[in-house]
Amino acid sequence: MKIAIGNDHSAVEMKNIIRKYVEEKGYEVIDLGTNANESCDYPIYGEMVGRAVASKEADYGITICGTGIGIGIAAGKVKGVRVCTCSEPYSARLSRMHNNTNVLSFGARVVGVEMAKMIVDEWLDNTYEGGRHERRVAQLMEIEER
Ligand code: RB5
């Protein structure tokens, strides 16, 4: 399983920690950057992660910026992407089980490393339940066609 990870300048250190963490969990990581501390524009990296997931180059995506919000909005603009931007594990878990999210976003300036790891665990270790959620997820995706 492959995970595309993208981040802005505010999240280089967090990205490296999470990258190592998910590699240790057995995932292959596609690191789309940035790996520089110079100020950069999060939409570029969010879109790259979204495109990697939408094209199936990666199974999942993780986006990290200061809040997780801007880079998550960018990833979610790509057709086929469903983003969970969150700062606690419960929402991460339910977003997989009910919303079949394929990109996780969080803020390096919002959550600490241990909370980020818990969020990642709940998101990666849970699977989509389907069933009653299928109709609603299909409705979400139909919005992209209007
Ligand atoms: C960068 O300063 C900051 O705006 C960015 O990391 C992010 O929080 C945007 O949503």
Q: How far is the first Cα of the chain from the last one, in angstroms, to the nearest whole number?
A: 32
Catalytic (active site) residue 98:
yes
- pLDDT in 10s for each residue of the chain, 146 residues: 999 999 999 999 999 999 999 999 999 999 999 999 999 999 999 999 999 999 999 999 999 999 999 999 999 999 999 999 999 999 999 999 999 999 999 999 999 999 999 999 999 999 999 999 999 999 999 999 99
CA 39 – ligand 1 centroid, Å: 10
What pLDDT sits at residue 97? 98
φ and ψ of 92, to 5 deg: -60, -45
pTM for this entry: 0.98
Candidate list 9, 65, 84, 86, residue with the active-site label: 65
Q: Which residue's alpha carbon is nearest to atom 6 within ligand 1?
A: 66
CA 67 – ligand 1 centroid, Å: 6
φ and ψ of 125, to 5 deg: -90, 0
Instruction: Please count the residues of the chain.
Output: 146
Catalytic (active site) residue 84:
no
Residue 114's Cβ-count burial label (10 Å; 0-12, 13-18, 19+) is exposed
Helix, coil or strand: residue 50 = helix
User: What is the spatial distance between Cα 36 and Cα 34, in angstroms, rounded to a whole number?
Assistant: 6
